[in-house]
Every structure is written in structure tokens, then in C-alpha cells.
Amino acid sequence: MGFDWALALGLVLTAVMAASAAVVLAGVLQTRGDRRQGGIFADPQGGTVFLFDGETLLDATPGARAILALSPARGGPWLRLLAYVAPRFPDFEQRISTLAGDGRLTLASGPEGEPLLLQAEMRGGVTRIVLDDPASGTRQRMDHLAQRALVEELDQLRATVTQAPLMMWRETAAGDVVWANAAYLLRAARRLDPGEDLSWPLPRLFERAATAQGAAGQRQRIEADNGVLWFDLVSFAEGSGRLLFALPADAAVQAEASLRDFMQTLVKTFAHLPIGLAIFDQHRKLALFNPALLDLTGLPPDMLALKPTLFSFLEALRERQMIPEPKDYPSWRRQILALEKAASSGLYEETWSLPAGQTYRVIGRPHPNGALALMFEDISTEMTRTRRYRADLELGQSVIDAMDEAIAVFSQAGQLVMTNAAYATLWGHDPVETVGSAAIGQLCEHWRALSAPSPIWAEAESFVAVIGERKSWSGEVRLNDGRLIACRFSPLTGGATLVLFRLVVPDEAAPLDLAPALRTA
């Protein structure tokens, strides 16, 4: 039987065609199987893709997981995604809530920052969100080392912001807190109820009106477990939003409260002082005065409330004749300049005798930061009392000067406090020069030198120095010129001692009687 080559060739071609068809069919079946296996999880183009079932993350590409890991929010993946997407797509939350009915949405980022596209669609109850950068295809590929340096710098900046002890956060134009550092988040978490997590947008710690104003140095308070905490808010505009910092101000608030209490105490103290006080600042404007100043000067309160200058203040006093009147106006101007200069150096202190008969003591003292304080004290009563006292002293001195007997009065300490004219004539030295400086010992030496030796001077020195009860005694001594002197030593009130000297006339028949002189003294 011969071999049929045609039949063999047909069988080979049929087998080859069948094998090829089987290969093609297997490829088609595998492709369909891969599609059924991947479904919406397949992402042949890569990119940034999130798959959510409600708020539960089913899958995400590596880039998407990096965004979730770097999100400033704390909580689940959905909250972290909102923290990243909401600032860039302001209407994302409103549009995503209607995705079930719309089926698909596409959003473009706002004008701030680099443009981004967001596509979201729902398939079988699963939400697929894709983030895309339209400009990524036109950028030059970055060097690996340069990219690593940028990543390291980003990590350092993120760590710096995280470790910062002060609160930082960002707000949108609507007032939503869209980013915050760790200090802000910790403070916000402490205000949550047990079991409650941070929500989106982040909780607000400070009043919206306060942060929206953007005023420099604005101070706000928040309630904390250990009391009230004060912060100075500093904000910077960022497009339509703001970047804000909360600087702790507890120490400044406490210092200001202490200063305010101290000032209130000073004001209350000044209000009860009988001395008029006027404090002028470094520009010589009236900054503080007390009620006594109104009583002493008679100036109207509304005039002082307008904070007049030092010159205007003194000019008003001059118009009311509350200041010594100079001879002419130029000398008045020079007097004002001299007063300010002397008060600034702390050397001004004068007594003003007013035309109405009052007497004021005016003292000028410098204050910190170039301020100036003037104090007005009414010493009319004191001056009247001093004048009367001086008149009484002069009258008493005139009385004892009119006596014939020489008188010397010593204090309890043995110092000479008073003599008369007869004493100066008898002993030959001016009592004005010795009063207050001469002691009994020195005067006894002087008396001993001008008289014959006698124990009376030693006894006189001992008598003056005795403290306690003493009795009067007397004696006689003869001067070097032969005159005889009768001496009497008598105790006075307060431990003082009176020494009386009287010349004994030779033809006197009666003994020396010093009682009238003592009674007069």
C-alpha cells in the first residue's frame, strides 16, 4: 500500500490550525479571567487610586497610601483623605455625598497651588477615587539624589513642626481648620469626650471672630483642665485662608494683672495721701494725679483730665496765684525751665509762700523712662507752728538775757543747750558758738581756768552726769580777778540741769538768795 502524502499534509495543517486556535482562545479566556479577577481593583496605568466601601478602605496604590500616611489628620483612612482633599477641592464633601446618584464626578483643584484633578466613580457600591496631576507628564524627570534630598528636607520640616511647643493651624476662608500641628491636635483631643475621635474639619479651639480679624497681638483664652490658658494669636494670609500661631501668654497676663493690681493699690494709696501728686511722662504731659492735688491747687478736674503739659499746668497755677509771682514774664519762663531741669536731676525742693498766706513745700523727683513727679504739701500749719515756736524761743531768750544772773542749761547728756547774755559777759565766751557743741567737762575746764582752785567744778561735773533723783546744792568760787561768785546747781525736768552764777557784792549783809532767779528761770 502506498503512502498518501496529501492526506498526511492535510492532517498536519489541521493540527497546526487547531493548536493556533487553542492558543488564541486560551489568551482570550485568560484576559477575560484577569479582568474578572481584578475588576475595579485593577489599575493598569498606576497612579494614585483609592477604593472605599463607605469609609472603609479596601485597597490603595502605593502613592495613595503615602498620601494617607502623610496626612495631618488623625483617625481612619477616610478622615485622612478628607484632610488632604478638602483644602484642595473645597466642594468635595458636598459632591461625594451625591456620588451614588450621579455615578461619576470630576473635580479640579482651586487656583492656589499646582493644579490637580480628582475623579470618583461608584461601581457595585464601591467608591473609586483617582487623583491625577495633569502637569506630571510635562515635567522633567528628577534626579534620584535630588529627590532624596527633598524628601529628607521635608521630613526635617515635618519633624520640626510636629515638635514645636506652640500651636499652629490653617483655616480656610470659611473658617474651617484644615491643618494643624501636633500641639494643636493634642490640645483639641483633650477637649473631646471619652471614646470620641477627632472629626473633620478639625475642632476649633479659638473663636472664629478672633482668628478672622487677623489683628496683630490679639489675645484669646481657652478653658483647660488646670484653669484658663491665654494665647497671643499671630496670623498670616495665605490666599483666601490663613496660617495662625498661638503664642503662650500666661506669664504676660499674670504680669499685667499684677501690674494692674499694683497700680490700683497705688491709686488708692495716692487717693488718701494729703500730699498733692502730679506725674508727668517723658513728653511732659500729665499722666497721673491724685485728689489732694485738686484740693491744694484748686484746678478743675476736667482741665487735669485733658493731660496738660508741665508748662500749661504751672501756667494754670500762676493764674490762680498758686505759685510765687516773679517780677517779669521772661524770668517766669526761666524759672519753669530751671524747675524742670532741677526736678529731672532730683534736686528741686522749694518752699512757696503764696500771696493768700499759704505755704507749700514743692518737691520734684525724676521717675523711670524720663518721667517727672511733682509733690505739693501744704505746710502752712507747720510753718505757723514753727514761727510761733521760734517767737516763743526768742521771747524766752529775751527774758533770760534780761536777768542779771548768768545762766547755763545742760541737757541730760551734759551738752550745753542755753545761756544768756550775763553768762557771756561773766565767762568771756560767746554762747552762740558753744550751744549744742560744748559739754559740761569742757566748760568746767574753762571755768576752772578762770577761777581759783576749788572742788566745786568736779562736783558740778559729777552732778550733771548723774541720772536719777537729785537735789539742788550751791557753793562759792573766786575768780582770778578777785570777784566772788555764788554758784547754784539745780535739777530740771527731763534730766536737764540749771547752773546759775551770781556776783556777790562785798557790802551785801544778807546771804545769797537765788530762789527768785530760779523761779524766774
Residue 325 CA to residue 352 CA, distance in Å, equals 10
Residue 279 CA to residue 366 CA, distance in Å, equals 9
Distances (CA, A) of 18 to 5, 13, 23, 25: 20, 9, 9, 10
Per-residue H/E/C for 261-275 = HHHHHHHHHHHCCCC
pLDDT at site 508: 52
Burial level of 265, CB count in 10 A (0-12/13-18/19+)?
exposed
Let me know: does 349 contact 361? Beta carbons within 8 Å: yes
pLDDT tens for the chain, 521 residues: list them: 455 555 655 665 666 566 565 555 555 455 444 444 444 445 544 568 899 988 888 888 887 887 887 776 667 888 888 888 887 887 888 888 888 888 888 888 866 666 788 889 988 788 898 888 776 655 555 555 556 666 677 677 777 777 777 888 888 877 788 778 878 877 777 777 776 777 777 778 877 765 555 555 677 787 777 778 888 888 887 777 888 888 888 888 888 888 788 777 777 777 777 888 888 888 888 888 888 888 888 888 888 888 898 888 888 888 888 877 766 656 666 777 777 777 777 777 888 888 878 888 888 888 777 888 888 888 888 877 878 888 888 888 888 888 889 999 999 888 888 888 898 888 887 766 666 567 888 889 989 999 999 999 999 999 998 888 899 999 999 999 889 999 999 999 888 999 999 998 876 544 444 444 444 34
Residue 458 CA to residue 441 CA, distance in Å, equals 9
Interior CA angle at 367 toward 352 and 339, to 5°?
30
Let me know: does 316 contact 346? Beta carbons within 8 Å: no
pLDDT at site 164: 77
Report how far Cα 150 is from the mean position of its chain's Cα atoms.
44
Q: What phi and psi values does residue 288 have, to the nearest 5 degrees?
A: -155, 140
Taking alpha carbons only, the member of 386, 390, 385, 447 closest to residue 416 is 447
Indicate the angle between helix axes 456-465 and 440-449, nearest 10 degrees. Answer: 170
Identify the bridge partners of residue 476 per DSSP, sorted by sequence position. Answer: 486
Residue 230 CA to residue 222 CA, distance in Å, equals 7
Residue 21 CA to residue 14 CA, distance in Å, equals 11
pLDDT at site 157: 74
Taking alpha carbons only, the member of 515, 463, 511 closest to residue 489 is 463
How is 367-410 classified by DSSP, letter by letter?
Answer: -GGG-EEEEEEE-HHHHHHHHHHHHHHHHHHHHHHT-SSEEEEE
pLDDT at site 491: 93
In total, the chain counts a number of residues equal to 521
**Three-class DSSP category at 424:** helix
Place of cell 506652640: 166
Residue 62 CA to residue 325 CA, distance in Å, equals 94
Residue 352 CA to residue 323 CA, distance in Å, equals 7
Identify the bridge partners of residue 224 per DSSP, sorted by sequence position. Answer: 227
Amino acid 228 reads V
Residue 137 CA to residue 115 CA, distance in Å, equals 13
Domains and CATH numbers, the chain: 48-134 (3.40.1840), 161-252 (3.30.450.20), 273-378 (3.30.450.20), 395-520 (3.30.450.20)
